[in-house]
Structure formats: structure tokens, C-alpha cells
């Protein structure tokens, strides 16, 4: 089997196989085969993403190299043509539909009820063996009682009393509870990732002047894919020919279709509503943006919320008390039935199920609201944070600033200043750069690249050369302080007159200032409302950081209700400020979009990146606003608050309901079988509540 190593940690490998390598049934067989290899602890094979997630131990088998060798030797003849449903229940039970499993269980109950008593007893003992083995193995590994030990004890006590009917009912209900937990949890994760996944088997490409329909597996980078109106765009790429309107709502949350023509980018998962496009493929399958989002969701459970870890630890800690209650009940009453009823009620099952379900459900809500959340712990952190820090350019201000004035100096022509600046800036995906390049395009200023290699210094500026002349483009700090290119008194007077209203971009040639470009940086329409509502939501401190000059920064801040403004900052300054703010707060959320924001995003308790920001900013961020809607930060906080309230309410319900069942069981009011049934029903109820929406449904894709 061909693969690439997509991600690797000690004892853990994620491999990406060629598209179409295996289907659903074959994925079960692949997992079963690999799990039989020495040292392989577990395997998850996803036919949707074509990935293998393998956990292995270095000491128990051949280690990493052995695992990779085993995968490479997996020929299709090993796993094709085998029905994955014929595998053991342990391997395929989770994959089967809940309806099939439930039907099979009910059929088994009906058949057993007609069997002779002796045969029913034998079957009960046989069915109990997996529970007893699991309990004994768990006790040997952890040397402390847990849920598996509790279940084995309840079944074992019933068998010792020769109460085979009760043992059979208990096992059926336990199996039903396990199946429900696995199925519900799996479906929640699948529905979250599936909402972004693509399912395209064939597509049309243009090769050698002909249009051909080919399997998706034969597509190559550089191919020209033809997409017509009404079709999903299957690849990331650049439009080579055609003209159309593309619906980005599935990926970005934008309600209005956007116009796409030659030279502009399109992304997999979006829909061509009108027209026809020929797209040069730059990424497909695992390389597309939408697939990377789906993969991230697939791995997001590893970033568990603190509350989820706490719930799991609490659940395991409660188990010994169940044994204690059962022992005390038997000691005081001498009634084994009452003691067994105490063993049938445990708090851990519902606690371990409801908490991750609530978090997964909230994450799915987030994707619908234009918020990509990379793990449950970030939801908890954004809810607890009392300090929000915003970058100015591209975050509080719109990501598409515009050039208002171009002022030449020292014998340079206006058009030459703009043309040269655009020639340098076109290499860098920043909002200011895009504004300069766009203005040159509007004015029809074509250029031939005569400069040498362009060097970009994050948050400083650009250095290049034309012939023997050194070119500098950047901020006042970069041009004046770092490179000692000082404006004349006359030039400084002009600059001072513009600096109160605009952000200034300086162009220097050699030792002289060649000109300045005035950039207008309008505030986002929803920025003022977002800041105000954050204050009302309990955020005590809102800080604006910028590399821009102090006058422009304070002009923007005066229109917003921010508590502090820090201007003329370098990336290391922003990181230092984040560290200082963390010391005296309950948590810091940093919102930014640029390369220079990336260290601060990584240093904050929660980093939030705008969709229009730099790739590295989106990569290091913990939340990504895929719709570029600043108000989505409020939705993220409301989701965090809501999921914490939901988890707390479930705690109260689980403890109250199971305590009542425990009391009824030990007092003899209900039997162990009834206790097990009611316990499972309460677990189902907690799970259903965990899946309920937190935020009210929106009637449109517009801003809230």
C-alpha cells in the first residue's frame, strides 16, 4: 500500500494513503490486520480521508520501522473482497449502524427466551466471559477498580447466585449502553468532519485539447479541471479560463457569491453557481483547505478540554465508592440482591459520555457559525478569558485597506513610486501589500521585474535592489531608525500632515526618501459592536496592538471602546505584552491576521486568526474565523459559556439521578435489572441533552 507520513509523534503515526485505496468494509479489514501485528496497540482506518492512525509501542514489537513495513506490504489482495462485517464484534461493532446492532440484540433476547433453562444458563456464562476478562484485565493493568471492574462484578455476582436471568439482562443492557455510547460519540465526530468532507469519484479535465472524465485518483497537480454551473469545485487551484460566480458559504460563511475570473484562486468544497471555469490544480485530496480542516477535526479530540479530563478522572474516582456502598449494603442487610443493585449504578458512564459529546456538539455549531475550533480546551479557555487583545490592521480594520495618496520625493514621479512599491509588495500576502498592488492594477501601471531577490523582514519592511541601487519599503521605524534614511524638514512637514489620518508606507532608494504611500485603514463595520458586546459579556480588559504609528493607532482606538493602545510594536514586543497580560488575568485571547502576529497568537491562551490572514497565522491559531466575521468571536465565547453550563447541568442531573437509583436499589425498592435499565436511560438522557444546540438558529448567513 502506498502512503505518505502526514504526522508523527512518539508511538503514533498518521499515514495518508492514495485516494480510493480502500472503502468502508476494507477499512475494517485493514485495521484488523494491522492490529494483529506485534507492538501495534490500535488502528483507525478512515475511508473518508484515506488515512491510517496507528498507535504502537517500541518495546512490544518492531517499533516504527516495523509498522511502516507492515503497511507497505498490505496489498489490496489482502483486504479486498472480505466482508468487514464478518470481523469480530470488537473490531467492527462501532462501524455497524446502531439499528443493526439493536436489531441483533433484540433478536438474541427473543431466541434465548425460548431455549431450555440449562442452555440459557450455559449461554449466560459464555456471554459473561468477555465482561469478566475485560474487568480482570483492567484491574491487573491499573491495580484499581474502574467501570469495567464494576460491570464484571455485577455480572459475576449474579452468576454466582445462579441468577442467570438477571445476569443476562444486565449484560444486554451493558452492551446496549456501550454500543449507544460508541455509536453516538462516533456519529458526533463524523457529522462534524463530514460537514466539510468532499465525496467526488470522477471529474472532468482538459488534456491535450480534449475534455476527459477521469477517476479522482488519476488527477495530478497542474491538471486543468473543468467545472460547470451547479457543480462542487473539487480542487484548490487558480482559474485559467472562464468566468463565474462561486458560493463560498460552505467554507467561509459568506452569503453572497463571489466573482471568479482568470488569475483568481478557488477552493475545494465551494460551489460554482453560474458560468464555467477551467481551473489549474494546485492542491487536491489531502492538500486542499477543506480536507485540512476535516483532518484537524479528526484529531481535535486529542486537545481535550480541562473539564473533559476532569470529568474522566472524577468518573474513575467514583467507582471505588460504588464498591464501598455495595459492601456496606451487604454487610448491614446480608442481601446480595441489594448489594448487586448498588453495583449496577455508576456515575462514570454518563460523565464520560456527556462531556465530550457536549464539546463535539459545540464545535460543530462553531463550524456553522464560521468558527473553526481546534480543540475542546480552547472553548473552555475562551469562556474563562477576561482579557482580549486585538491586532489593528486587518483585524479591527478591514482586511482590504486602500491607497489614498501617493506623494513622490527627490525627483521621483508619482507613478514610479507606486509602480516600484507594487513590484516589491506583490510577493507578500499582507493587507497593506494587497492594497498597493491593487491600486497599481487599477491605474494600469504595468511593471517588469528588474529587482533582485526580495527579502521580507516580518513587521519591518522589504529590502531589494535595482542595479546598484538599494531599495527599502516599510514603516518609519524600518526606514528611519533601522536604516538611517531621514526625511528632509520639508518632507517631514508633509509626512506630519498626513500621519494623523493615514498609515504611511515609506519608499527609499539608496540614502534618499523616494516617496510615501498613504493607506486608509477603515474600521470593520462590526468592530465597534463586537468590542462593546465583549465588555458586556464580562471581558474587563480590551487591548489594541499595532506596528503602526501612535497617532493613527489612537485615532482608530478613539472610535472603539478599547482600554489600552500599544503602537509601533515589533513581533517580539507583541509576544512580550501577551506574556505580561497573562500574569494578571484569568486568560488572554489574541486576535490577529498577519505573519507578525503569529508569535503572539501562539503565546496567548487562545489565538484567534482571521480567514483572510497569513497562512502561518491560521496555522498557529487555536480558533479560525472562517467567515472573516469579527462578531464570530462573541459566538465563540457564548459557545464556550454555553457548553460549560451544559456540562455543569449534566453533572447535577447525573449525580442526582444515579444517587436516587442507588438509594432505591440498596433499599430493595428496585431490582438490579431495573436499576441497570434506569441507569442506561439516564445516560441516554444526559447524552441527548449534551447534543442540544447552544446558540439560537440563524435565519441567514448575515452578521448577528
**Residue 199: is its pLDDT beyond 70?**
no
Q: Are 611 and 371 in contact (CB under 8 A)?
A: no
- Lowest average pLDDT, out of 82-96, 346-360, 477-491, 670-684, goes to 82-96
Q: Are 352 and 552 in contact (CB under 8 A)?
A: no
The arithmetic mean of pLDDT across residues 620-635, rounded, is 84
- Lowest average pLDDT, out of 82-96, 134-148, 223-237, 407-421, goes to 82-96
Please give the pLDDT value at position 105.
64
Q: What is the spatial distance between Cα 53 and Cα 238, in angstroms, rounded to a whole number?
A: 32
Please give the pLDDT value at position 619.
66
Of 72, 67, 164, which is closest to residue 121 (Cα–Cα)?
164
All residues at 6 or more sequence positions from 574 whose CB lies less than 8 Å from its CB, including other chains: 391, 545, 596, 597, 599, 600
Q: What is the spatial distance between Cα 402 and Cα 518, in angstroms, rounded to a whole number?
A: 9
Neighbour tally for 16: CB within 10 Å = 21
Average pLDDT, the chain: 76
Cell triple for 608: 484567534
pLDDT tens digits for range 156-176: 877 877 777 767 766 776 676
Per-residue pLDDT band at 517 (split at 50, 70, 90): very high
**Residue 89: is its pLDDT beyond 50?**
no
Please give the pLDDT value at position 67.
85
Per-residue pLDDT band at 389 (split at 50, 70, 90): very high
Q: What is the spatial distance between Cα 676 and Cα 549, in angstroms, rounded to a whole number?
A: 68
Please give the pLDDT value at position 57.
75
Choice between 625 and 249, residue whose per-residue pLDDT is larger: 625
Per-residue pLDDT band at 615 (split at 50, 70, 90): low
Q: Are strands 461-466 and 606-610 parallel, antiparallel or unpaired?
A: unpaired
Neighbour tally for 443: CB within 10 Å = 15
The arithmetic mean of pLDDT across residues 63-89, rounded, is 66
For residue 348, with 0-12 CB atoms within 10 Å meaning exposed, 13-18 middle and 19 or more buried, which class applies?
Answer: buried
Choice between 307 and 272, residue whose per-residue pLDDT is larger: 272
Neighbour tally for 5: CB within 10 Å = 11
Per-residue pLDDT band at 87 (split at 50, 70, 90): very low
Please give the pLDDT value at position 173.
63
**Residue 309: is its pLDDT beyond 70?**
no
Neighbour tally for 412: CB within 10 Å = 18
Per-residue pLDDT band at 674 (split at 50, 70, 90): confident
**Residue 247: is its pLDDT beyond 50?**
yes
Please give the pLDDT value at position 90.
38
Q: What is the spatial distance between Cα 657 and Cα 201, in angstroms, rounded to a whole number?
A: 49
The arithmetic mean of pLDDT across residues 445-470, rounded, is 67
Please give the pLDDT value at position 21.
75
pLDDT tens digits for range 560-600: 889 999 988 877 788 899 999 988 888 999 998 866 677 88
Alpha-helical (H) ranges within 228-335 are 249-252, 289-299, 306-333
Please give the pLDDT value at position 254.
46
Please give the pLDDT value at position 77.
67
The arithmetic mean of pLDDT across residues 78-101, rounded, is 48
Please give the pLDDT value at position 94.
40
Q: What is the spatial distance between Cα 234 and Cα 296, in angstroms, rounded to a whole number?
A: 19
Q: What is the spatial distance between Cα 542 and Cα 562, in angstroms, rounded to a whole number?
A: 5
Choice between 451 and 39, residue whose per-residue pLDDT is larger: 39
The pLDDT > 90 percentage for the chain reads: 11
Q: What is the spatial distance between Cα 362 and Cα 356, in angstroms, rounded to a whole number?
A: 10
Amino acid at each position: 500500500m502506498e502512503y505518505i507520513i502526514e504526522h508523527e509523534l512518539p508511538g503514533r503515526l498518521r499515514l495518508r494513503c492514495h485516494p480510493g485505496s480502500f472503502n468502508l468494509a476494507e477499512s475494517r479489514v485493514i485495521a484488523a490486520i494491522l492490529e494483529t501485528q506485534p507492538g501495534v496497540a490500535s488502528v483507525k482506518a478512515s475511508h473518508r480521508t484515506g488515512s491510517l492512525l496507528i498507535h504502537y509501542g517500541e518495546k512490544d514489537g518492531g517499533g516504527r520501522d516495523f509498522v511502516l513495513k507492515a503497511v507497505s506490504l498490505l496489498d489490496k489482495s489482502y483486504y479486498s473482497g472480505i466482508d468487514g462485517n464478518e470481523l469480530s464484534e470488537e473490531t467492527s461493532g462501532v462501524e455497524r449502524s446502531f439499528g443493526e446492532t439493536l436489531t441483533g440484540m433484540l433478536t438474541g433476547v427473543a431466541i434465548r427466551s425460548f431455549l431450555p433453562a440449562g442452555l440459557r444458563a450455559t449461554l449466560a456464562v459464555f456471554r459473561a466471559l468477555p465482561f469478566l476478562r475485560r474487568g480482570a484485565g483492567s484491574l491487573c493493568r491499573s491495580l484499581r477498580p474502574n467501570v469495567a471492574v464494576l460491570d464484571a462484578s455485577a455480572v459475576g455476582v449474579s452468576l454466582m447466585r445462579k441468577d442467570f436471568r438477571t445476569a443476562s439482562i444486565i449484560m444486554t443492557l451493558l452492551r446496549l449502553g456501550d454500543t449507544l455510547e460508541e455509536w453516538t460519540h462516533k456519529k458526533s465526530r463524523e457529522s462534524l468532519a463530514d460537514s466539510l468532507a468532499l465525496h467526488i469519484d470522477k471529474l472532468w479535465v482538459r488534456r491535450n485539447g480534449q475534455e476527459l472524465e477521469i477517476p479522482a485518483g488519476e488527477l495530478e497537480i497542474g491538471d486543468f479541471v473543468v467545472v460547470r454551473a451547479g457543480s462542487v469545485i473539487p480542487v484548490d487551484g487558480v482559474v485559467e479560463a472562464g468566468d463565474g460566480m462561486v458560493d463560498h458559504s460552505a467554507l467561509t460563511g459568506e452569503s453572497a457569491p463571489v466573482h471568479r475570473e482568470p488569475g483568481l484562486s478557488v477552493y475545494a468544497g465551494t460551489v460554482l453557481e453560474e458560468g464555467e471555469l477551467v481551473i489549474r490544480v494546485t492542491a487536491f485530496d489531502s492538500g486542499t483547505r477543506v480536507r485540512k480542516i476535516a483532518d484537524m477535526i479528526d484529531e481535535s479530540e486529542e486537545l481535550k478540554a480541562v473539564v473533559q479530563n476532569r470529568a474522566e478522572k472524577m468518573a474513575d474516582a467514583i467507582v471505588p465508592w460504588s464498591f464501598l456502598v455495595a459492601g456496606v449494603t451487604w454487610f448491614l442487610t446480608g442481601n446480595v440482591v441489594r448489594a448487586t443493585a448498588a453495583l449496577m449504578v455508576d456515575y462514570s458512564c454518563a460523565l464520560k459520555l456527556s462531556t465530550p459529546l457536549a464539546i463535539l456538539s459545540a464545535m460543530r455549531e462553531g463550524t456553522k457559525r464560521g468558527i473553526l475550533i481546534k480543540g475542546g480546551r480552547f472553548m473552555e479557555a475562551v469562556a474563562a478569558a477576561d482579557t482580549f487583545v486585538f491586532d489593528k490592521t486587518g483585524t479591527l480594520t478591514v482586511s482590504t485597506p486602500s491607497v489614498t495618496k501617493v506623494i513622490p520625493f527627490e525627483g521621483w514621479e508619482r507613478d514610479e513610486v507606486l509602480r516600484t512599491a507594487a513590484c516589491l509588495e506583490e510577493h507578500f500576502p499582507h493587507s497593506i501589500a494587497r492594497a498597493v498592488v491593487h491600486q497599481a492594477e487599477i491605474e494600469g501601471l504595468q511593471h517588469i521585474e528588474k529587482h533582485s531577490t526580495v527579502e521580507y523582514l516580518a513587521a519591518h519592511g522589504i529590502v531589494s535592489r535595482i542595479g546598484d541601487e538599494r531599495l527599502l519599503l516599510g514603516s518609519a521605524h524600518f526606514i528611519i531608525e533601522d536604516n538611517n534614511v531621514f526625511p528632509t524638514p520639508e518632507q517631514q512637514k508633509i509626512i506630519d500632515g498626513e500621519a494623523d489620518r493615514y498609515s504611511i508606507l515609506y519608499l527609499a532608494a539608496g540614502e534618499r526618501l523616494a516617496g510615501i504611500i498613504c493607506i486608509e485603514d477603515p474600521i470593520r463595520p462590526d468592530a465597534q459592536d463586537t468590542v462593546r458586546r465583549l465588555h458586556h459579556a464580562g471581558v474587563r480588559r480590551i487591548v489594541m496592538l499595532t506596528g503602526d504609528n501612535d497617532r493613527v493607532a489612537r485615532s482608530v482606538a478613539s472610535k472603539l471602546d478599547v482600554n489600552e493602545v500599544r503602537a509601533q510594536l515589533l513581533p517580539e514586543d507583541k509576544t512580550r505584552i501577551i506574556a505580561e497580560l497573562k500574569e494578571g488575568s484569568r486568560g488572554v485571547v489574541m486576535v490577529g491576521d498577519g505573519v507578525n502576529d503569529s508569535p503572539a497568537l501562539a503565546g496567548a491562551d487562545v489565538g484567534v486568526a482571521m480567514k483572510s490572514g497569513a497562512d502561518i497565522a491560521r496555522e498557529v491559531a487555536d480558533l479560525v474565523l472562517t467567515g472573516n466575521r469579527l462578531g464570530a468571536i462573541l459566538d465563540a465565547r457564548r459557545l464556550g459559556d454555553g457548553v460549560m453550563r451544559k456540562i455543569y447541568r449534566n453533572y447535577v442531573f447525573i449525580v442526582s439521578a444515579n444517587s436516587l437509583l442507588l438509594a432505591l436499589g440498596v433499599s430493595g425498592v428496585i431490582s438490579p435489572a431495573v436499576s441497570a435499565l434506569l441507569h442506561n436511560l439516564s445516560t441516554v438522557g444526559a447524552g441527548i441533552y449534551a447534543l442540544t444546540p447552544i446558540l439560537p438558529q440563524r435565519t441567514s448567513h448575515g452578521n448577528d
